[in-house]
Structure 1
Amino acid sequence: MSPKHTVYKKFSHDKSVGVYMGRRDFVDHSDSVDPVGNVCVCVCLVNVSVWPILVYVMLSCTFRYGRDDMDVLGMAFRRDVFLCTRQVYPPLQDRERCVHTRLQERLLHKLGHNAYPFFFEFPDNLPCSVGLQPAPTDVGKHCAVEFEVKAFCAENQEEKSHKRSSVRLAIRKVQYAPNKKGVVPSSETACEFMMSDRPLHMRATLEKETYYHGEPINITVDIDNGSNKDVKSITISVEQITNVVLYSSDKYVKTVAYEESTDTVPSGTSLKKVYTLCPLLADNRERRGLALDGKLKHEDTNLASSSIVKAEVLKEILGMLVSYRVVVKATASGEVAVEVPFLLMHPKPEGELVSYIHSS
């Protein structure tokens, strides 16, 4: 195998089964999802003491909305959104004739006769990997949508596998920013005050619809104050809205970037100014309940990417939906506000393969 190609591997405690993967991030392209391919299972049959033995591989998507120690009356605070199991040993006849990916062929050649490939297709209605940031004092699993590949030895598929003879490897389902450019986001409002002949007009405009994580956001604020009231202060913020839709209708609105301007707009004057905000996880490490992109063990992450929902998919199955908006507020006799939605995502990596090729 090429030394530049990373291969992730993990074995069970008793070394009876192991998983090799060429990648752990799988991309949702809206019209298709990268299949979980380029994977091999190496079965060390000499270490298996229970006969006859079968080896299975499972792909799972789990939505967890409470810690393991919060189980009440035997009911766990988790739900399996998707489960799919494949038998890899003994290999089934219809699996023996399938065409392998290039990495699978290399792994099969390297690992020898105890290596067996498997292949999964993601359904197009599964959520992406996302989780809520726990408080610094919280321990254990937190509220999250998680994916994993599990390989295990058992006498049959329904049998509960022993931890010593099973191995789990976390993976992620991610989305990248769409290639096409959307309409430039803009929003405006007018507020009429008592005893004023003319209203106060306020407009907020962004430069584009999609911003990348870590990219500054320039907000053009245009205020025409024809009223008899003075605008005494202006605040600009970026808000993250997280809707937990799978088990309830919880909604979390968190400010992830904020600026309070000293600018004023006296009666009969106008203001046009560009303000810049940059929403970063680094500035919100202590904020409990903030939505973050799913992360693998020992890796850092970032604010959750915006959710792109396909028209035909039920929102209730997606676990958590994340969106962002810029909010501009001007304080006069009362508060005047405009909201401008936008997308916050990662750019598609240069040179990334669109998907694995898997032909029959």
Structure 2
Amino acid sequence: MRVIGLVVHLHYLCKPETLISLTGKSRTVGNERRAVGGVTAYKYWPWKPASTHSLTEATHNTTTTDRQTDRMSPKRVIYKKLSRDKSVGVYMGKRDFVDHCDFVDPVDGVVLVDPEQVKGKKVYVMLSCTFRYGREDMDVMGMVFRRDIFLCSRQVYPPLQDKERSVHTKVQEKILRKLGDNAYPFFFEFPDNLPCSVCLQPGPTDVGKHCAVEFEVKAFCAENQDEKAQKRSSVRLAIRKIQYAPDTGGAAPSADTTCEFIMSDKPLHMRVSLEKETYYHGEEINISVDIDNSSNRNVKDLSVSVEQVTNVVLYSNDKYVKTVAYEDTMDTVPSGTSLKKVYTLCPLLDNNRERLGLALDGKLKHEDTNLASSSVVKDEVLKEILGMLVAYRVVVKCNAAGIVGSSEVAVEVPFKLMHPKPDPESEDTVDLVFEEFKRSYLKGVIGDDDESPAEP
């Protein structure tokens, strides 16, 4: 009875803390369990737990003064993934890495090692960029529709240099403090000529990997880095290399055409213009159409559309042209009249999810991707290395009908579709929230063998 009374007394005197479960196992510590950042969190009382080197018993403590302070304190999501045998785990502060044209964000993170599971082997981390053209079951007769564009590996355990010299960011420092002595940092830099993440959308019934440029961080245990890693002792995390819209855009694009017809003394002139060169994903595009019909023909069937043009340049010269926004107007321009009107379109993935062959930004979860951003080709970079090139254009079409038949008139105006540059993220965060890093939610990646869940 005295022991129970002491526990109850501590229940009211001690400040609650939060324990983040690395393995995702469901268990109760104290009297309350809740979810934080997609993983299981528990409230417990701050006596010191038994120390251990096992990944399955690693704990992360975050002290808060009260609920209001907990809500107001800034959070930093840390993405984590463990191998099936719990020998290695990878922790990264972000999964999107930005190409600023003059430099690319480096890839950094932390590897957590269980020395008892490793048993004298070495632990390596590898960064890779891969271009795949076709499904994996098409790799027959020695012909593989896959090419490694970039590979780079580092040995992290046993460490080749002091931890202090290997740490490059404040987030790494905080993760290392959370994880303890068996955590080791890693750091990679992208070369200047790598493409950005992009993939072609599979059909509703398609399963497996298809045409895509993918980036991946892989940690594994082996005797040496050339040895084939066992799946149960390795962990693979998909990341993305993306680009944001430049700070300064070019001139507002426009195009026009003049058509002369048989038995018509005067021509038909059509001009199409946009307000700016670069638009953001989800932003409406105002399209100004100016038609001066001085000919003896009547203009009808006026349509306005946005097309995505994808060129696969590494293995072949395949070209995919997909309409991602469309409006069939009822406007006509009789002979001797003119038309000045602004049409509005908004290209969105939500309206095109069932379309096969549509280029998307690299996928990490089914809900966080979008139409692929426009490709920005740097100077002195071979286009073939980029794998796939994506461009957008506005197309305005109409039919000029006359006595001897009708003729199609079309005007194309190119533009860029990109993400806006976000505000810089501060590294001076108070709390780290650990979130499971999985790709099992991907549409079309059911049964992907690169999945290494926290639970066996």
- The amino acid of 2:117's aligned partner reads N
Deviation at 1:99, TM superposition (A): 4.6
Q: Read off the aligned partner of 1:130 and give its amino acid letter.
A: V
2:208 maps to 1:146 = no
1:42 paired to 2:105: no
Q: Could you give the per-residue CA deviations for residues 244-295 of structure 1, whole angstroms, max 9, x where no partner exists?
A: 1111111111111111111111111111011111111111111100001111
Q: Aligned AA for 2:258?
A: A
Residues 1:185 and 2:253 are matched in the alignment: yes
Alignment of 1:152-163 (within 5 A): 152-163=220-231
1:7 and 2:7 aligned: no
Deviation at 1:47, TM superposition (A): 1.4
Per the alignment, residue 357 of structure 1 pairs with none
2:419 maps to amino acid:
H
Q: TM-score, normalised by structure 2?
A: 0.75
SS at match of 1:288: coil
Displacement of 1:140 in angstroms is 1.1
1:345 and 2:345 aligned: no
TM-score w.r.t. the length of structure 1 is 0.94
Q: Which residue pairs with 2:169 in the alignment? A: 101
- Looking at structure 2, the residues matched to 83 and 94 of structure 1 have their Cα atoms a distance apart, in angstroms, of 24
Contact 2:394 2:413 (8 Å CA) reproduced: yes
Aligned partners of 1:259 and 1:105: how far apart in 2? 53
Corresponding residue for 2:102?
31
RMSD of equivalent CA atoms = 1.6
8 Å CA contact retained: 2:168, 2:187: no
Q: 2: CA distance between counterparts of 1:26 and 1:289?
A: 25
- Structure 2 residue 331 is matched with structure 1 residue 259: no
Quick one: structure 1 residues 240 and 28, their matched pair in 2 at CA, closer, same or farther if it must change by over 3 Å? same
Q: Which residue of 2 aligns with 1:225?
A: 293
Deviations 1:152-197 (A, max 9, x none): 0000111101111100011100111111021011000000001111
How many angstroms apart in 2 are the aligned matches of 1:283 and 1:308? 25
Displacement of 1:233 in angstroms is 2.1
- What is the aligned length? 351
Aligned counterparts of 1:91 and 1:48: Cα–Cα separation in 2: 14
TM-fit CA distance, 1:298: 4.4
**2:241 is paired with a residue of what secondary structure?**
strand
Which deviates further from its counterpart, 87-96 or 304-313? 87-96
Q: Contact (CA 8 Å) 2:167, 2:173: kept in 1 or not?
A: no
Return the alpha-carbon distance in structure 1 between the equivalents of residues 89 and 367 of structure 2.
Answer: 22
Equivalent residue for 2:378? 310
Distance (whole Å) between structure 1 residues aligned to residue 266 and residue 321 of structure 2: 34
1:72 aligns with 2:145: no
Note if 1:112 corresponds to 2:180.
yes
Q: 1-side partners of 2:249 and 2:394: how far apart?
A: 19
Counterpart residue type for residue 342 of structure 1 = F
Give the 3-state SS of the residue equivalent to 1:219 in structure 2: strand
Q: CA-to-partner distance for each residue in 1:78-119, whole Å, 9 max, x for gaps?
A: 111110000111111387634532111112222121111110
Amino acid at match of 1:239: E
Partner secondary structure for residue 77 of structure 2: coil
Residue 352 and residue 340 in structure 1: after superposition, are their counterparts in 2 closer, same or farther (change >3 A)?
Answer: farther
Counterpart AA for 2:205: T
Change over 3 Å in CA distance of 1:353–1:179 after alignment to 2? farther
Distance 2:298 2:287 in 1: 22
Which residue of the other structure, out of 300, 308, 331, is the alignment partner of 2:399?
331
Q: Offset at 1:3?
A: 5.8
| Fraction of identical pairs, as percent | 77
Structure 2 residue aligned with 1:289: 357
SS at match of 2:181: helix
Q: Kindly provide the CA deviation profile for residues 317-345 of structure 1, in whole angstroms up to 9, marking residues without a partner as x.
A: 00111000000112103011110000111
| Matched-pair contact (CA < 8 Å) for 2:124–2:156 | yes
Deviation, structure 1 residue 65 = 1.0
AA aligned opposite 1:223: I
Counterpart AA for 2:328: E
Counterpart in 2 of 1:243?
311
Instruction: Give the alignment of 1:193-208 within 5 angstroms.
Output: 193-208=261-276
Question: 1:16 corresponds to which letter in structure 2?
Answer: S
Give deviations 1:135-160, integer Å, cap 9, x for gaps: 10111112111111000000011110
What is the match of residue 275 of structure 1? Answer: 343
Q: Does 2:124 align with 1:56?
A: yes
Q: Match of 1:341, as an amino acid?
A: P
**Following TM superposition, by how much is the alpha carbon of 1:221 offset from its aligned partner in structure 2, in angstroms?**
0.4
